[in-house]
Amino acid sequence: MRSVCFAAPAIENGDRVLQETAAEVLGPRRDELDDFHRRMGITKEHWYLQPTPQGPLTLVFLEGTDLSETFARLASSEEPFDVWFRQQAKRVHGIDFAEPMPGPLPEQVLAINRD
């Protein structure tokens, strides 16, 4: 299993859109989110909203089988939920996940697990 965490600033009203999106995927769109996770190979997903002096920052943690492939599939998928999800990300961060990632995924430099 691989994991990645990345930060992206929220654009104007992005924090509100993120909270609305979270409520939607945990509520009426939960089955679609579960299907999305299965199709994309995602086993864990966590979103955090961090206030900063420069404005809200979104932190996203993902765990899955092949996260590089996950982002590639997300970029090209025409599944209705995936298209909607990309639109939501663009409304939150201004990031267009339909475009290739500008560089490699973030590098993990420390992991401590005390299970």
Q: Is residue 70 in a domain? A: yes
What confidence category does residue 11 fall into, taking pLDDT thresholds of 50, 70 and 90?
very high
Q: How many domains does the chain have?
A: 1
How many C-alpha atoms does 60 have within 13 Å on its Cβ side?
17
Looking at residue 108, its pLDDT comes to 85
Q: Is residue 98 in a domain? A: no
Q: Is residue 59 in a domain? A: yes
CATH classification of the domain holding 82: 3.30.70
Q: Which two tokens stand for residue 113?
A: 């697990």
Give the whole-angstrom CA distance, residue 102 versus residue 39.
Answer: 23
pTM higher than 0.85: yes
pLDDT at 54 over 80: yes
| DSSP labels, 43-62 | EEEEEEEE--TT--EEEEEE
Q: Which two tokens stand for residue 75?
A: 């970029």
What confidence category does residue 114 fall into, taking pLDDT thresholds of 50, 70 and 90?
confident
Q: Is residue 7 in a domain? A: yes
Pick 108 or 34 by higher pLDDT.
Answer: 34
CA 75 to chain centre: 12
- For the chain, the average pLDDT equals 93
Q: Is residue 106 in a domain? A: no
Q: Is residue 23 in a domain? A: yes
